[in-house]
Amino acid sequence: MKHPARYAAVAALILIIGVFYYRSIFFQFVGDDYYYLLRMEASSNIHEALKFLWQPTVLSVYFRPMAWLPYFTGYLVDPHVTVWFHFLSITLHIFNVLIVYFTARYLTGSGIVAFFAALIFGLHPINSEVVTFVAIFGDIAFTFFCLISLILFALFCAGNNVKAYLFSLIAYTLALLSKEAAAITPLLIIMTGVALYKLKGIRLKNPWAIAPYFAITAFYLILRPVSQLGILSLMPSPQKALKLVYYIRDLVIPFEVIPLKNFVYQNMPVASFLAVSLLALILSVWLFFKRFKEPMAYLPLIWIGLTLLIPLAIPFSPVRRHLYLPLVGYSIFLSYIVYAASKKKLLFISLLSVFLIAGGIETQRRNSLYEYAGDLVHSSLAQLKKEMPVINKNATVFLVGLPGTVDNTYVFWSSPEDKIRFVYKDMGLPAHCLSVINFRKENIPEARVRFLDNRSFTYELDTDLYDYIRPAGVNPAGEGWTKEGGGVEYNIAGKDKYGNINKMTFRFPGYLYPGKEYLILGWKEGAIKLLGTIKE
């Protein structure tokens, strides 16, 4: 057998990643999963499912046809077994791990550096969200197709292989159909050409071969049903600096530093702490480039910078799944730099083993949060259906204070309305979420509801740094009354010392249609309960 060490490394990687994520194939659904499940449930046959597969989703403004694949696979095989919904996510994640291994081995020439780079990528805690949350399949898929496109382009550069070039363009197209963040691929193609020349002396014979990647990007942005191009901004701002600090923290520190976080929130302005962190980051990069000048040291950093451009440009809060593609570069960078700096193989193994153990423990903790969240949603919806088998066709449902996220892990947030519609198998059920509760402990806090009259009520919660009310509106920090779905208005009536919301007032329109009733569902006694009914 040729290259037994490589086969052993591949087998070890598959085994280790499989052990870490094996349980996740049995996890129940959370978050946006129910958006997809509801529409798949409404399909009367496979043709309907395929129609949904290639339709743009109305979940925000995304066009990600490939994101439907896990749901299509699950409904095609057995819609009652979650294994088939999670199967593609875990399989592609393992493939991505192996791609990182072979890429790092080719670039560095070291099997041990490549093995640890692949382990870092495979076990890093940011992957819990990507691998265990089916709705995030687009991140795994676009990363896979992006990496395949780059590898095939490298083969084209090395041997002028036209077939590899054509398949590279196809892979890039599939990456775009997985997630729009793949639009960064043309810049990564240029970086691949530079890396091949700097590290291997391979020069791209025809620079115009890069042009079709940009043409595909332009064609995609023109033809996609809804374009986000207008809301992207690369202009520097304090918000982008804040996001960058969060992203770098999640990449570099594979575990929660709870004491430090508590100290900052209680004793120091967060903005000041982030400013100090950003300055420390800039100083670290400067010192690094003074020490390491070889291409293999700085090329992965360029990868990280390029792949963070789109996450920084979009006007949304930082989320861990945005780091899945940047993690490819960081994994290779960390393994190579520790190897180059430690000089001795035993020290290298020891240092990265500590990093992997800390990251692995955090990964298992976050996996257990997704397991808990899925079980909570599944059991709560089943209990609701049991206690309230049907909903009046003239009723509108309003959701108040359901468990939203536990330690930044989706429970009923987001798309809580689709979870209610899924239970009652009714895509047209009028449902509106007014607020959710973010919490850290598995002991879910319950708010106190008090009806002021037959049109309004207050919602109050004992809050702290982690347990607080999150409005569903687009202006949760605003003053005065904010209009929400269904014509309901809310007002933020109180905040705690951390600035978290602990009291809200909701009021319904002055005129209600005769015969129409408004059901207010909330969290009470560990389940979703009917808190009250408002009708004319």
Tens digit of each residue's pLDDT (9 = 90 or more) over 349-404: 999 999 999 999 999 999 999 999 999 999 999 999 998 888 888 888 999 989 99
Number of domains in the chain: 2
Q: What is the pLDDT of residues 226-243, one digit of tens each?
A: 444 445 566 666 677 778
452/511 same-domain check: yes
Q: Is residue 23 part of a domain?
A: no
Domain contains 21: no
What does the DSSP 8-state code read for residue 57? Answer: P
45 with 157: CB under 8 angstroms?
Answer: no
> Max CA-CA distance within the chain?
80
Handedness of CA 342, 346, 348, 351 (dihedral sign): negative
- Answer yes or no: do 231 and 264 share one domain: yes
Q: What is the mean pLDDT of residues 322-341?
A: 92
Beta-strand relationship, 489-495 and 481-483: antiparallel
**Co-location of 467 and 343 in the same domain:** no
Higher pLDDT pick, 194 / 257:
194
Do 202 and 287 lie in one domain? The reply is yes
Task: Answer yes or no: is 407 within a domain.
Answer: yes
Closest CA to 11 of 109, 87, 101, 84: 101
Q: Specify the 3-state DSSP secondary structure of 263.
A: helix
Domain boundary among 335, 366, 397: 366
* Residue 151 belongs to a domain: yes
Contacts of 373 (CB under 8 A, 6+ apart): 30, 406, 409, 410, 411
For residues 411 and 485, which has the higher predicted lDDT (pLDDT)?
Answer: 411
What is the predicted pLDDT for the residue at 273? 63
Sequence-distant (≥ 6) Cβ neighbours of residue 305 within 8 angstroms: none
Q: What is the pTM of this model?
A: 0.89
pLDDT averaged over every residue in the chain: 84
Q: Name 407's Cβ contacts closer than 8 Å, sequence gap at least 6.
A: 369, 440, 466
CA distances from 349 to 117, 119, 120, 346 (A): 12, 12, 12, 5
DSSP codes of every residue in 399-455: EEEEEEEETTEESS-S-HHHHHHHHTT-TT--EEEEEEEEESSSS----EEEE-SSS
Same domain (yes/no): 319, 456: no
Same domain flag for 399 and 492: yes
How distant is the alpha carbon of residue 511 from its chain centre?
41
pLDDT tens column, 35-65: 888 888 877 565 655 555 555 544 445 678 8
Let me know if residue 297 belongs to a domain: yes
- pLDDT in the model for residue 313: 83
The verdict on 464 and 527 lying in the same domain is yes
Question: Residue 474: which domain range?
Answer: 388-535
In-domain check, residue 331: yes
* 445, 254, 320, 376 alpha-carbon torsion, rounded to 10°: -30
Q: Which two tokens stand for residue 491?
A: 């007002």
* pLDDT exceeds 60 at position 476: no
With 0-12 / 13-18 / 19 or more C-beta atoms within 10 angstroms meaning exposed / middle / buried, residue 452 is exposed
In this predicted structure, the answer to whether residue 536 has a pLDDT above a threshold of 80 is no
pLDDT above 70 (res 150): yes
For residues 493 and 403, state if they share a domain.
yes
Q: Does residue 482 share a domain with residue 347?
A: no
**The pair of three-digit structure tokens given for residue 188, joined into one six-digit string:** 């990564």
Asked whether the beta carbons of 299 and 191 are under 8 A apart, the reply is yes
pLDDT band at 428 (very low <50, low <70, confident <90, very high): confident
In a domain, 378, yes or no: no
Degrees, nearest 5: CA angle 213-218-222: 150
pLDDT at 230: 47
Please state, in angstroms and rounded to a whole number, the distance separating the CA atoms of residues 96 and 140: 8
107-145 residue pLDDT tens: 999 999 999 999 999 999 999 999 999 999 999 999 999
Q: Mark residue 133 as left, alpha or beta (left: phi above 0; alpha: psi -120 to 50; beta: remaining).
A: beta
**Per-residue pLDDT tens digits for 253-291:** 877 665 555 555 555 565 666 666 667 767 766 666 666
The vertex-337 CA angle with 9 and 259, nearest 5°, equals: 95
Residues 354 and 392 in one domain: no
Q: What is the DSSP string of 457-518?
A: EEEE----SS-EEEESSS-TT-SSEEE-GGG-EEEEEEE-TTS-EEEEEEE--S---TT-EE
* Shared-domain flag, residues 287 and 405: no
Question: Are 335 and 392 part of one and the same domain?
Answer: no
Residue 403 lies in a domain: yes
